[in-house]
Amino acid sequence: MTETSGSQDIAALAKGGRTNMLGFILRLVARLPFLFIAGRVYGPDIVGRYAIVVLVIEVAALFATLGLKRGLAQALSSTDRPHAHVVWDAMVVALLASAVACGVLMLFPQAMYPNSEIIGLERLLPLVVFAVAASDVSLSALAYRHNIRASVTARAIIEPWVISIAAWGFSFVSARDGLILAYVVSMVAALVASIVPFVREYGMPRGWRPRPADIWALARRNAPLAGADTIEWATRNVDRFILGLLFAPSVVGIYYMAQQVVSVPQRLKSSFDPILGPVITQSLAANDRAAVANQVRQVGFWITGAQAALLVVFAIPAEGVMGLIGPEFVAGAGALCILLVAEVFASTGAVCETALIYIARHRNLMISLCVLLLQIALSFAFVVIARTQGWPEAWQAVGPAVALAISVTIGSAVKAILLRRLLGASVLRVRPSLFGAMAVSALVGAAFTSLPARYEWAELSLGIPAIVATYLFVIIRFGFGPEDRSLFRKMPGVDEATLPVMEKL
């Protein structure tokens, strides 16, 4: 890897990272009203019912994309056909798979409502799968052209704000179905926000004729990617399904809200996928494995550092954070803390997987599958042990979160070792300054949480900004090098004109 090309790669990742960091902040701001409305207006029972519905729709949409969220970049980088033809082939694949998934759910709607009665138009809810799958393919195609702004607009602005506003509006129409109706509206809005820039970027395919053989080959080639995506999704959601089997809907609702808080830092990794995937595939096409290792190290540190900050921000005042959603949700503070820890440990494996899916997809798939099976086994084991010991229900419900933390930590270690062997270079970057920043900011947060009860208002309103400011000061002052600082400014010596791939931003 030459110094110039390496600098350009990091500059591209940094620019995409800055765009996604803006999207992350916007998503955080937009997510808070939804959590407050869902918790305060609808309550844990309705939230638990909504959580299961969304769970089933999301897994159906994930199957429908057939791995194209990450496989499309590789397909585009290795074809001689016009890119517009390839992306429209991918769209046809996703829509056909969506039709199959939609048909199955319409035939067996009880999968979406295992603990409640199906009423009225709820059988038509699987139609949302078309919107989710088409939106994912559109944004993946745009990401190949390094247009990350469309993803930020659709996922971090349109989708969360629409669901928040719609949830409030539908609460006056139906206290039972308002959240589900709001979800439908938000997915349709996100689809529009994805399709419009997609058509502008690639245009309508001129002279294009769908190629059934190519479409089938694309789907078959992406099977390991689809499996990896499905297993990654299951790792983050199987705990909710297990809770639905073992506990009342209210417990699922409380746990789901903790997951939603954690989903904000979780998006940090997934938001880098659109820019990291194309950069890695281009380096692999040039057989520059040292560049891939450097890219994984750099993005891995950025994500781990950001998630560590969010761990301190949300975990120290965990009861206050969950209490904002509603007094019934304070019981989920323990699950929130454990899930935040799990995200920190999972970040390394998640970034390594972005490279492994292109150079060792089958081994990566097997590792992910073993991690998922371990998580499921530990989840049931921990709940059974807790019940045998007569522990409170709130403690029992934490069992799946503990299982998640243990399994993803093991998975991250295995994937990092495998990728290091394949690339011949280290893919992990750990700096003492990271732990120092966490320790100092945790002390600041603990000082605010120890204030007398009459100053409880300051725990979140003043404590969280103080934690963030302290963490950023320490990590930037003592832990950031020139490449890290490129997240906040252009890298010296890298002219924007030398980065034509980023012009679409």
Q: Which two tokens stand for residue 365?
A: 């798939």
Element (DSSP H or E) covering residue 151? helix 149-151
Q: Which residues contact 102 (CB under 8 A, 6 or more apart)?
A: 60, 126, 127, 129, 130
Q: Which residues contact 36 (CB under 8 A, 6 or more apart)?
A: 324, 325
Q: Which two tokens stand for residue 211?
A: 């190629």
Are 414 and 368 a contacting pair, CB within 8 Å?
A: no
pLDDT computed for residue 414 by the predictor: 95
The pLDDT confidence band at residue 84, using thresholds 50, 70 and 90, is confident
The pLDDT confidence band at residue 27, using thresholds 50, 70 and 90, is low
pLDDT at 185 exceeding the cut of 90: yes
For residue 221, give the 3-state DSSP assignment: helix
pLDDT at 57 exceeding the cut of 60: yes
Measured CA to CA, the distance from residue 488 to residue 479 in angstroms comes to 14
pLDDT of 407-462, one tens digit each?
Answer: 999 999 999 999 999 998 888 877 888 899 999 999 999 998 888 877 777 888 88
Lowest model confidence (mean pLDDT) among 218-227, 301-310, 374-383: 218-227
pLDDT computed for residue 116 by the predictor: 66
Neighbouring CB atoms inside 10 A of 330's CB total 18
User: What's the whole-number mean pLDDT along residues 240-269?
Assistant: 82
Q: Which two tokens stand for residue 281?
A: 């595939």
pLDDT at 361 exceeding the cut of 90: no
Q: Which two tokens stand for residue 68?
A: 């194209």
240 is in which domain, residue-wise?
A: 3-502
pLDDT of 95-152, one tens digit each?
Answer: 988 999 999 998 888 888 776 677 666 778 899 999 999 998 898 888 888 787 888 7
pLDDT at 270 exceeding the cut of 70: no
Output the CA torsion 428→431→434→439 (10° steps): 130
Lowest model confidence (mean pLDDT) among 147-161, 262-276, 308-322: 262-276
- Percent with pLDDT over 90 in the chain: 29
pLDDT computed for residue 376 by the predictor: 95
pLDDT computed for residue 420 by the predictor: 93
pLDDT at 26 exceeding the cut of 80: no
User: What's the whole-number mean pLDDT along residues 211-227?
Assistant: 69
Measured CA to CA, the distance from residue 181 to residue 137 in angstroms comes to 24
The domain total for the chain is 1
User: What's the whole-number mean pLDDT along residues 362-386?
Assistant: 93
pLDDT at 220 exceeding the cut of 70: yes
pLDDT at 76 exceeding the cut of 80: no
pLDDT computed for residue 367 by the predictor: 92
Lowest model confidence (mean pLDDT) among 128-132, 151-155, 184-188: 151-155
Measured CA to CA, the distance from residue 336 to residue 318 in angstroms comes to 7
Measured CA to CA, the distance from residue 224 to residue 66 in angstroms comes to 9
pLDDT computed for residue 484 by the predictor: 60
pLDDT computed for residue 189 by the predictor: 95
pLDDT computed for residue 492 by the predictor: 38
Are 113 and 49 a contacting pair, CB within 8 Å?
A: yes
| CA triple 364-367-371, angle to 5 deg | 135
Q: Report, in this order, helix, strand and coil percent for the chain, each rounded to 5.
A: 85, 0, 15
What does the chain come to in residues?
505
